[in-house]
Amino acid sequence: MRVIFGFLVLDKPAGPTSHDCVARVRRAYGLKRVGHGGTLDPAVTGVLPIALGPATRLLPYLPGEKAYLATVQLGVRTRTDDLEGAVLQKCPLPSHLLWHEIEAALSPFLGSIAQRPPAFSAVHVQGQRAYALARAGQDVELSPRCVHLHRLELLSWDPSQGTLQLAIDCSAGTYVRSLARDLGEALGCGAALANLRRTSALGFQLSQSVPLEALMASPPPLLDPLEVLVHFPRHQLAPGDWEGWRCGRAQVAQTPLASGDPVLVVAPDGKLAGLAKMADGFLQPRVVFAAIG
C-alpha cells in the first residue's frame, strides 16, 4: 500500500481560510492526516505549505522565516489595521511626501523590534483568541513582542492614491498589519494594510506552488521531503544501523555539528528515515519513520 508522504505548496487565493484549504487537500488525497504551516488570513494570498501524511511531523522543524509583498494605504485608520475592518478615521496625506522620507520612516522597523499585534488577531488572551474578544466589543490591548525584519524595501510609491508597496522578509510572528499601522503613525497620517501576498514560508517559494483549483483535477504530485529540506545536513545510515534507528537508538555523528542542530537521517535505501538533533556528539532521534518497538 502506497503511503502518501510529502509536501504540497498552495498558492492560496483570497477568500478561503487556511482551514478551508486543508479540508480541500484532505478530500483531494483521501487523507485525514494533513497540516499546514503558517495561517493566512482569508484576504491574504500566496504560499501556504501543506504537509501530508508522516510529513506533518516535520513541520515544527522547518524554518519560520516568511516573505511578503504588501500594499499599504496611507491616510486611514481601521479597527483591524487593514481595509477589511471598519474605518475609524480618515486623515489627509502629508503634503509632498517624498520617497526618501518614506524610507526614513521605514528604517526604524528594520531589524529586531517590539511589535504590538493587532487586536483582531489569533493571539491568546486569558484563554481566548484576541479577535473573539474584539468582536464582542471588548477593548483589546496586546503586549508588544519581539520580531525581526530582515528586509524592508520600498518598491513603489503612488502619491496620487497614497499607496506604497513593500517587500518584507521577516521572522515568524510578524504582523504586516501592525507594520502598516505603525508606519502610518510614524508618518502622522495613519495607514492600513490594503493587500498582502506571501511569497515564501517555511523554506517554500511561490515558484513551487500550485493553485487551489488544481485539486479539482487529479491531485498534484507531492514534493519529496528530501528534495525540499536541502538546507539540513544529512546522515546516511549504514545497513547495520537501520534496525537500531527504527528502535530509537542514538547514532554516532559522521561530522561535528553544533548541539541542537537538526539533521535529516537517510535510510540505507536512500529514503528519509527521520530527523535527529545533535547532542554530545550523537544524533538523538526526534522523528523516526517506520519505527518499531
Residues known to be catalytic: 41
Q: Is 44 left (phi over 0), alpha (psi -120 to 50) or beta?
A: beta
Where in the chain does DSSP place strands (E)?
Answer: 6-12, 34-36, 45-52, 66-74, 76-78, 87-90, 111-115, 124-125, 128-129, 145-158, 163-170, 191-201, 204-205, 210-211, 234-236, 251-252, 262-266, 272-279, 282-288
Query: H-helix or E-strand containing 61?
Result: none
Measured CA to CA, the distance from residue 209 to residue 49 in angstroms comes to 8
The β-bridge partners of 8 are: 50
- What does the alpha-carbon distance between residue 217 and residue 67 come to, in Å, rounded to a whole number? 29
Say if CB 149 and CB 175 are below 8 A apart.
Answer: no
Closest alpha carbon to 122 in 114, 112, 134: 134
Q: Is 248 helix (H, G, I), strand (E, B) or coil?
A: coil
- Whether the CB-CB separation of 152 and 106 falls below 8 Å is answered with yes
- The whole-angstrom separation of Cα 284 and Cα 262 is 10
